[in-house]
């Protein structure tokens, strides 16, 4: 299974942009890159996902490197509610049910 590597923790100031990096050097050509975030004692919340092209939605942007070996989740203006553990996940092969392969995640703290 392809794995992802993220920093254990990051800090940001409120209303500033945040760039959360993720390395996935063993990604296969059919793996989608998913990002989820999780608050304590809650289920993960979907943030964004992509395959090759950069993606934008109301929550965030996803920048994918041309070789797909790394990606960056961009929160354009961090708020206190964005403090969470962010998981960069590769969506596995469909013959394994398309399972999500979770790593340790990055704990993001946001300072007022």
Partner 1 sequence: DGGITQSPKYLFRKEGQNVTLSCEQNLNHDAMYWYRQDPGQGLRLIYYSQIVNDFQKGDIAEGYSVSREKKESFPLTVTSAQKNPTAFYLCASKIGGANYGYTFGSGTRLTVV
Task: Give the interface with partner 1 as residue ranges (CB under 8 A).
Answer: 30, 32, 34, 36, 41-46, 49, 51, 87, 91, 94, 96-100, 102-105
- Shortest Cβ 19–partner 1 spacing (Å): 21
**Length of the chain (residues):** 112
| Least Å from the CB of residue 107 to partner 1 | 10
- The CA-atom distances, in angstroms, between 9 and each of 1, 31, 61, 73 are 24, 25, 20, 14
Assigned token pair, 17: 């942009």
Choice between 13 and 99, CB closer to partner 1: 99
DSSP state of 30: T
**Cβ-based nearer residue to partner 1, 62 or 75:** 62
Smallest gap from residue 65 Cβ to partner 1 (A): 20
**Which residue, 17 or 98, has its beta carbon nearer to partner 1?**
98
Burial class (CB in 10 A: 0-12, 13-18, 19+), 46: exposed
Residue 48 near residue 59, CB atoms below 8 Å: yes
CB of 44: closest distance to partner 1 in angstroms? 5
> CB of 20 within 8 A of CB of 59?
no
Q: Using the minimum distance from each CB to partner 1, give the nearer residue, 9 or 13.
A: 9
């Amino acid at each position: 299974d392809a794995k992802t590597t993220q920093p254990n923790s990051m800090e940001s100031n409120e209303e500033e942009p945040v760039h959360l990096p993720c390395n996935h050097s063993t990604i296969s050509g059919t793996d989608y890159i998913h990002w989820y975030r999780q608050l304590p004692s809650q289920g993960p919340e979907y943030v964004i996902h992509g395959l090759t092209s950069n993606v934008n939605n109301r929550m965030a942007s996803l920048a994918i490197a041309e070789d797909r070996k790394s990606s960056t989740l961009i929160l354009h203006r961090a708020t206190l509610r964005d403090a969470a553990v962010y998981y960069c996940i590769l969506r596995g092969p469909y013959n394994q049910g398309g399972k999500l392969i979770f790593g340790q995640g990055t704990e993001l703290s946001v300072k007022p």
